[in-house]
Chains A and B, each alone.
Chain A
Amino acid sequence: MQTSEAFRSFYEQELASLLTPLEEHRKKIKKGAVLGLVLLGISVLFFIIASSSKLSTPAIIAFILFLAAIITLVNYAMRLKKFTRTFKTEIVSRIMHFVDPSLRYSPEQYISETDYLKSGLFVEKPDRYKGDDYVEGLHGKTTFVFSELHTERRVSSGKNTHYQTIFKGLFFIADFNKHFSGRTYVWSERNPQINFLTKLFSSFAWNLEKVKLESKEFEDRFIVYSTDQVESRYILSPSFMERAVRLQRLMGDGVSLSFIDTNIYVAVPIREELFEPSVFSANDFSRLDDFRTTLVIVYDIMDELKLNDRLWTKE
């Protein structure tokens, strides 16, 4: 795996020159956003004046300023979208290629809802499903895909409707190194979705049984359900359990895994946006190095779970 030092020289040789025009572009967009917000602020001020004044002039000014603010902000949003697209094709795709030339990157695609639901990691069907930064690759003998996903549920209270996040982060699917035919779910113990009702539902509707495992540390962190008691233990060997615990320590408490159709699904909750350029601060070396680190995390997952360890099992 490429180190941070190697990345610095790559940054200086290749990325820096590409970033200069993009940074100019970014500053202009930032100005547009600031202008839009200032106009919006002044228009609010005039609305307040208009409400306590008998003259109609402040109201007209407030309205014109408000319109101008909206136009500026819409323009900002459109330019931001274009900027993000250019940034991803020019910069992020190069970083991907630097980390692993075999990676195929599609900035606007994402893992399908069918795959997301099939993983069984999140039981409820989301009302809003978004994502981007789809990546496909081959690491040793392991084929894998991942993307950023953001899934939400609609919550209505009275007349108000808002969206609540179900999952936001990195969603990863890879070919597992052992053959199996059943389904095994390793949910994070801290996943609030896995409440009593879900467990009951899973047991009946999905024909699952709770799997009690020997490792106390693993049992404290994960809750395992499977269609096959023996097969789940075949997948979750003692060494694999240790690795899953290490993975959770590395990536946070919310990490969940599932094993279906010879694939492994991993959901890593991450609050920050992945591979998104910043508008209000410079996209400098440290920011781009964060992108590289995110990619390295994916390789860490595969190495940590030893998905390439296929000496005697699946080729």
Chain B
Amino acid sequence: MYIAIGIVVVLILVVIGLYNSLIVKKNAVDNAFFSMDVMLKKRHDLIPMLVDTVKGYMQHEKELLSRLTALRQQFDAPRLPVNEQVKLENQFNTLLQQVRVQVEQYPDLKASENFLKLQGAINEAEEQLAASRRFYNAAVNDYHNGIMTFPSSVIASMAGMGRKDYFAAAAEDKAVPEITFK
């Protein structure tokens, strides 16, 4: 009799332990998403400044710049699901990349101190964003390991814990060449 009670108590404790560890992992994902959101916002906030700085020089790229501004405004909407955000981010990166390519045509702009500073700030923000995105993906991976491996997978399915989306980097983001300046 006592043995049976003992086993039940141990089982309950194990279940509580597993459930709590899943909750910790889930919260880690939310935290990571929050910190990534801050970095995304930080980068988005630099865009109006970028557009202001370059529009005087880039007379022929008005359409490109207005598309960038329009896309930037979509991020002001309340928090979007991760996969929606990834899609928007990727479009945004493509546009930003196009702006960068076009800048090459305007030597005056390239040499302007304001632009250089801004470019530096955007680059810095992108490095921080890459870091927080990697942290978010690591947290999601850890959470997935929790909900998909036995025995915690049983508790996860009972508690209705589902998969979360990874924040995938855009193709051109991954292919950024390393530039060396000596």
Using a CB–CB distance below 8 Å, which chain A residues touch chain B? 140, 178, 212-214, 229-234, 237, 239, 306, 308-309, 311-313
Contact = CB atoms under 8 A, between A and B. Distances in A.
B60 interface: no
Interface of A (DSSP majority class): loop
Contacts of B142: 212
Interface string B93-129: 0000000000000000000000000011001100110
Interface stretch (B3-11, B45-53, B132-140, B147-155): B132-140
B70 interface: no
B180 A234 contact: no
Nearest to A229: B135
B156 interface: no
A311 B116 CA distance: 10
B22 interface: no
A213 B139 CA distance: 11
A140 B35 CA distance: 34
Nearest to B137: A214
User: Chain B interface residue count: which class?
Assistant: 20 to 34
Nearest to A233: B131
Interface of B: 32, 35, 39, 119-120, 123-124, 127-128, 130-132, 134-135, 138, 142, 178-182
B127 A234 contact: yes
A140 B181 CA distance: 11
B134 A214 contact: yes
Contact of B131 (A212, A237, A311): A237
B182 A140 contact: yes
A306 B180 contact: yes
Contacts of A232: 131
Nearest to A306: B180
A233 B135 contact: yes
Give the top 3 A-B pairs by smallest Cβ distance, nearest first: A234-B131, A233-B131, A312-B123
Contact of A312 (B119, B130, B135, B178): B119
A214 B138 contact: yes
Given A229-B135, A233-B135, A237-B127, A311 B35 contact: no
Contacts of A239: 178
A230 B123 contact: no
Nearest to B176: A239
Contacts of A212: 138, 142
Contacts of B135: 229-230, 233
Contact of B124 (A230, A237, A312): A312
Given A312-B119, A312-B124, A230 B131 contact: yes
Contacts of B138: 212-214, 229
B134 A233 contact: yes
A310 to B, nearest CB: 8
A233 B138 CA distance: 11
B180 A309 contact: yes
